[in-house]
């Protein structure tokens, strides 16, 4: 059984991979065991990021900035602290889904490094949704809901790496996809519990968690068929779209 040291190493790896924090690099090259631990700890990173952006919002609402500027700065802070990699994954995945051709051709489009029209449109829409809805939550002083939306989106990554899905060889996905089983249940229950705390309307939080869970399950199955596997770009796509989905329910 893994001890507390292994858990701390997993959290360290998760922050190392998923944020810009200047943490020491691991001494050895990560393998799938390390990847499994890091993905299982991804919701901890989400909680930290969500708490930080909620704190930023709490400070900004006491200024004369318009609500839309507050929302924009919240989204910008998340992008900066995560190197923008989830946004990059969103654009690459949508470009891959939008192209014609074989799964090999779709993967080539995803690896091209440029943003096509589908990816640009997806980035614009998702960022606009996030900016407006984060601004609405900040205006209403719903700090727990802000933190919950970010956290639940990182819980979605655990589900996107569940056993039964195959990774695309090479890259980040090969280290983490197909590694999660028990962690899905634990983090799913934690997300549901957190969801119950985010609103006076008891159903809103669980509905957000349910929507994210259903969306993650369906879209990763589709991506696995279309690309013949899951890679890191798909995981970034899941993070950004899940955050937007959670916000939609929490604000609606």
pLDDT digits (tens, 9 = 90+) for 166-188: 999 988 899 999 999 877 777 77
24 domain-assigned: no
**Does a structural domain hold residue 126?**
yes
DSSP state string for the chain:
---HHHHHHHHHHHHHHHS---PPPPSS---HHHHHHHHHTHHHHHHHHHHHHHHHHHHHTTSS--HHHHHHHHHHHHHHHTTTHHHHHHHHHHHHHHS-S-HHHHHHHHHS-S--HHHHHHHHHHHHHHHHHHHHHHHTT-HHHHHHHHHHHHHHHHHHTBTTPPBPSSSTHHHHTT-BSHHHHHHHHHHHHHHHTS-SSTTHHHHHHHHHHHHHHHHHHHHHHHHTSB-HHHHHHHHHHHHHHHHHHHH-
Does residue 26 sit within a domain? no
Does residue 134 lie within any of the structural domains?
A: yes
Q: What is the pTM of this model?
A: 0.92
Residue 25 lies in a domain: no
Confidence of residue 205 (pLDDT cuts 50, 70, 90): confident
Please indicate, yes or no, if residue 230 is contained in any of the structural domains: yes
Q: What is the pLDDT of residues 109-136, one digit of tens each?
A: 999 878 899 999 999 999 999 999 999 9
Give me the mean pLDDT over the 191-207 stretch.
Answer: 76
Q: Which domain holds residue 114?
A: 4-18+31-251
* Structural domains counted in the chain: 1
Is there a domain that residue 208 lies in? yes
pLDDT class for 27, splitting at 50, 70, 90?
Answer: confident
Average pLDDT over residues 77-98: 96
On whether residue 63 sits in a domain, the answer given is: yes
- Confidence band of 1 (pLDDT split at 50, 70, 90): very low
> Pick the residue with more confidence: 18 or 184?
18
């Amino acid at each position: 059984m893994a001890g507390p040291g292994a858990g701390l190493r997993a959290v360290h790896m998760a922050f190392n991979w998923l944020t810009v924090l200047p943490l020491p690099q691991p001494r050895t090259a990560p393998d799938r065991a390390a990847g499994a631990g890091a993905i299982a700890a991804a919701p901890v990173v989400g909680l930290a990021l969500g708490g930080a952006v909620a704190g930023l919002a709490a400070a900004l609402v006491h200024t004369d900035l318009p609500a839309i500027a507050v929302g924009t700065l919240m989204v910008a802070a998340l992008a900066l602290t995560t190197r923008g990699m989830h946004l990059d994954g969103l654009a690459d995945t949508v470009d891959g889904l939008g192209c014609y051709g074989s799964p090999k051709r779709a993967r080539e489009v995803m690896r091209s490094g440029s943003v096509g029209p589908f990816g640009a449109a997806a980035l614009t829409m998702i960022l606009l949704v996030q900016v407006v809805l984060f601004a609405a939550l900040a205006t209403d002083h719903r700090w727990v809901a802000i933190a919950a939306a970010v956290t639940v989106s990182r819980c979605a990554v655990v589900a996107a790496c569940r056993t039964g899905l195959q990774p695309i060889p090479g890259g980040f996905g090969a280290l983490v996809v197909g590694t999660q089983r028990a962690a899905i249940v634990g983090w799913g229950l934690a997300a549901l519990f957190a969801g119950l705390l985010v609103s006076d309307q008891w159903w809103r939080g669980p509905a957000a968690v349910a929507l994210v869970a259903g969306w993650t399950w369906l879209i990763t199955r589709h991506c696995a068929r279309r690309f013949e596997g899951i890679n890191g770009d798909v995981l970034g796509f899941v993070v950004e779209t899940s955050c937007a989905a959670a916000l939609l329910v929490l604000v609606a």
